[in-house]
Structure 1
Amino acid sequence: MSAANPQGGGAPQKEVSVNEKGKPVYKLGKGLYWRLIWTLSGNFLFLLALYNAVISIFLPNQVANVVQGDAAQNTIALASIMTVSSFITVFVQPLTGAFSDRTRSKMGMRTPYILAGSFIGGFAICMLAPQSSMIGIGICWVIASVTLNIMNGPLATILADRVPEENRGVASGYIGAAQTGGGTLGIIAAGWFANHTLSGGYLFFGIGIFVVCLIFCLLNREPNTKQMDVEPFNWKEFFKGFWVSPKKNPDFGWAFIARFVMYLGYQGVVAYQLYILRYYIGLDDASSNTIVGVMSTIQLFALIISSVVCGYLSDKFQARKPFVFISSIIMAVSYVFPLFMRTETSMLIMAGVLGIGYGCYMSIDMALMTQVLPDNGENAGKDMGVLTIATNLPQMLVQPLVAVLISIFASYGSVFITAIILVLASSFLILPIKKVK
């Protein structure tokens, strides 16, 4: 694909050519390039803010208000909703991506999904506000999860559609920073909304997600794709693409299992921070809503510093496994503090130490994964997509896991112990990998 260098001078180019199959080939000048990057980053910032606000603060508070039970009852109720929504949406993004590739309309390939998904998803978020039953909350959240994923898949594909490979590193950096910052800002804002007006919080994020998507689509319009060729969709090949033989590719298999186990341990604590502060540490509702935001801020700063330092050192020494191993150990150590000290201070210490460990892990894990891809990365897109399952599936499984632990042991201490075991296990699962130093 040919494209003007976005770093160069000259007036923005608005031309969109087509290749031999009629597919749009974007030639972005400096102005259009940065408009795309800033608006796309803004979309992901708001989307991650919405997800973290709703999942970490709004839903736990709303479920607790509806159920009005103890720690176990509220945890099981929340886990039920999150498990159902996660199970239903697990294949939504890859399916939507495949369908949008084949969509032909005056609005383009991605825009119909982005606008429809954000409108319906935003409306479902707004409709969560008046719900006073678990059924109502569950239905609204499932609709929101499905439709926001329908929006998210095509939105994430915009980078590959419009930005040439030589410029994707910088673009990915901006988007990654926006996602990280958005997640933290979402929790901070949600803490304020939860203490003042939970309904107002739902309306803010529900309306806001459609507004930012509409602005993005208006400022970065797609060309008419009705003349494009349409490749037939093969269900067998689609699902076959999710399988990579661990026998033929043992390093890939070990990397997949290690990432899966690590995220299962990590999500078990992160997803239930509000309930941990409330039912394990013993803070009141208002304090727990506020402290979650403080913890997220501490973790963000620790994560940024750690990821930069570890990424630099890993490249300097051309070593991946030692850093992934050490980062997993650090994460496990962070969970020890609240396990033995049930105080607000211990949770703040955990946030800082966890940020150091997770930041190091994130900065190295992706590089390690790219080095264990089958066939020397010839099918990198598909295989990296398979690896995302090792991140997404734990988010689904951790809900019933935590619910079972709380039901049996009646304490979030059991969640910390399980997280320590899982994260430590993941560090040792990296060791059998042979391709990477």
Structure 2
Amino acid sequence: MNELNTGAAEMPVAEHVHGKRRNILLGSLFVNFAVLFALYNGVINVLLPNQVALLDPAHKAANFSFIMFVTLLFTIVATPLAGALSDRVRSPLGRRSPFILFATMVGSAAVLCLILMKTVAAIAVCMVVMSFAYNMMQGPMTTIVADRLDEANRGKGSGFVGAAQTAGGMGGIILAGYLANRLFTGYAVFALAIVATSLLFVVFNREKSSAHDHVEPFHLGRFFTGFWVNPKTYPDFGWAFIGRFLMYLGIQSVITLQLYILQDYIHLDVTASNHAMAILSVITAMTLVISGLISGYLSDLLKVYKYFVVFASLVMATALSIPIMIPTLTGMYIYAAVFGLGYAAFISIDLALITRVLPKRANSSARDMGVMTIANVVPQALSPILAVPLLKAFDNNYAVVFVAAMVCVLMSSLCILPIKSVK
């Protein structure tokens, strides 16, 4: 199938920032992504699984996996849709800011409604709205790295984003672990925090007005055909997509089901498992921030991205083997430290690599970044639901989840090697 014109808008002149404005942008990206991923991880990994377990303890893993599958199934197109639409926005606030503001408000309203839901189906509806909205915000936010940082600084930008995602994610788990017995307070803290930081981001990083930009109409049919990126025409993009897909397919089940792993594999009670989640996050935070920032700067300095990603994948595969060999809380602590090293390096350098393999198509950077995001959104939907039959087949032994994750991560590293346009 040949690529079709998606009717993308005419791209304005690049709005690269330098000096003080660049430093403010980097700091703002760090704060906003940190809070966003604190919300993602705090809600999805701690607060929500605790709420689901209270509804039906005997079927908690299956119910939680179902909610995540439905949620992410409905939000697969959110990020690329936001990218395609934000490429066309004409407003005094620019192209990205209106999406960041509106989507944040909708997502936070859905988070606040979660505590009122008393059935699995109702929780799933709230999660669909929340995830769709925040993904509509995250797409334009991620594209700002390519919009406003020149190529010489994108590694630094991706390093800040990567470190923020990992640090914020772990911080969110820490906070949520101590708020797990006060679910409404937990949901409210995260929902209001992301609203505040998104408002501040837009205020301190004003975009040029796009009110008078020339744009072409949005065509839904062309939008969906635009999801197709011909791997023969853009093989490096294809390999990067598959590599990211396999990576998240592997690690997401371990990340998503970690609370239940502590309860049913390490055999901790509910209170101890929530506190252990916080301790695991502290341990990981000690390794991930430094790893993410250093990896970003080293990749720009050495101009080597592909092999950094492969090395990070191997570190994560090693980490995943530790709970299999040492199925104790100590083993989980060691796993958390080693995984943090690899994961921070992976997500920081992977973003820098992806910005360099995007198809050279006019006015499609936001959409193509959104298409690439599918490679981590779809596995988030599939991974937990695929883990359920594995657990049933192996008598609810969570070791099989770690084994499956290792296989996927190692396959991911092999997919990065054929990339030719990036060292």
SS in 2 for 1:281: coil
**Fraction of identical pairs, as percent:** 44
What is the distance in 1 between the residues matched to 2:352 and 2:11? Answer: 34
- Listed as ranges, the matches of 1:292-311 within 5 Å are 292-307=277-292
Q: Deviations over 1:45-73 (max 9, x none)?
A: 2111111110111111100011121xxx2
- Asked whether 1:60 is paired with 2:49, we answer yes
Distance 1:367 1:216, change over 3 A: closer
User: 1:330 & 1:22 partners in 2: Cα distance?
Assistant: 39
Select the residue among 88, 106, 129 that pairs with 1:143.
Answer: 129
Aligned residue pairs, count: 413
Task: Kindly provide the CA deviation profile for residues 382-413 of structure 1, in whole angstroms up to 9, marking residues without a partner as x.
Answer: 65554333222211211211122223322212
* Structure 2 residue aligned with 1:49: 38
1:352 Cα shift?
1.6
Alpha-carbon deviations, 1:168-218, whole Å to 9, x = none? 5555444443333211211111111114x1211111112222233234444
Which residue of the partner structure matches residue 18 of structure 1?
Answer: none
Q: What are the superposed Cα offsets for residues 17-66 of structure 1, whole Å, 9 maximum, x if unpaired?
A: xxxx8969869786655555444432222111111110111111100011
User: Aligned partners of 1:55, 1:396: CA distance in 2, in Å?
Assistant: 12
Residue identity matched to 1:117: A
Equivalence for 1:330: 315
Q: TM-score, normalised by structure 2?
A: 0.83
After superposition, residues 145-224 of structure 1 pair within 5 angstroms as 145-160=131-146, 170-195=156-181, 197-220=182-205
The alpha-carbon deviation at position 322 of structure 1 amounts to 5.5
Q: Does 1:131 align with 2:117?
A: yes
Deviations 1:120-140 (A, max 9, x none): 211111111232221221121
Q: Any idea what SS the aligned residue of 2:180 has?
A: helix
**Alpha-carbon distance in 2 for matches of 1:346, 1:227:** 58
Q: Shift of residue 265 of structure 1?
A: 1.0
1:407 maps to 2:400: no
The 1:74–1:248 alpha-carbon spacing in structure 2 relative to 1, beyond 3 Å, is same
Please say if residues 158 and 349 of structure 2, whose CA atoms lie closer than 8 Å, have aligned partners that are also in contact.
no
Gaps in structure 2 of 5+ consecutive residues: 1-9
Pair 1:416 & 2:402 matched: yes
User: The residue matched to 1:233 in structure 2 has which SS?
Assistant: coil
- Unaligned segments of structure 1, at least 5 residues: 1-20
Q: CA RMSD, aligned part only?
A: 3.6
Query: 2:177 aligns to what SS in structure 1?
Result: helix
- 1:101 matched to 2:87? The reply is yes
Higher relative contact order structure (alpha carbons within 8 Å, sequence separation ≥ 6): 2
Matched residue, 1:346: 331
Aligned partner of 2:249 in structure 1 is 264
Give the TM-score, by structure 1 length: 0.81
2:73 corresponds to 1:87: yes
User: 2 CA distance for matches of 1:103 and 1:319?
Assistant: 35
CA-to-partner distance for each residue in 1:130-178, whole Å, 9 max, x for gaps? 3222122112111111222233333344455555666655554444433
Letter in 2 for 1:134: V
CA contact (8 A) 2:158 2:296 kept: no
Q: CA deviation at 1:368?
A: 5.2
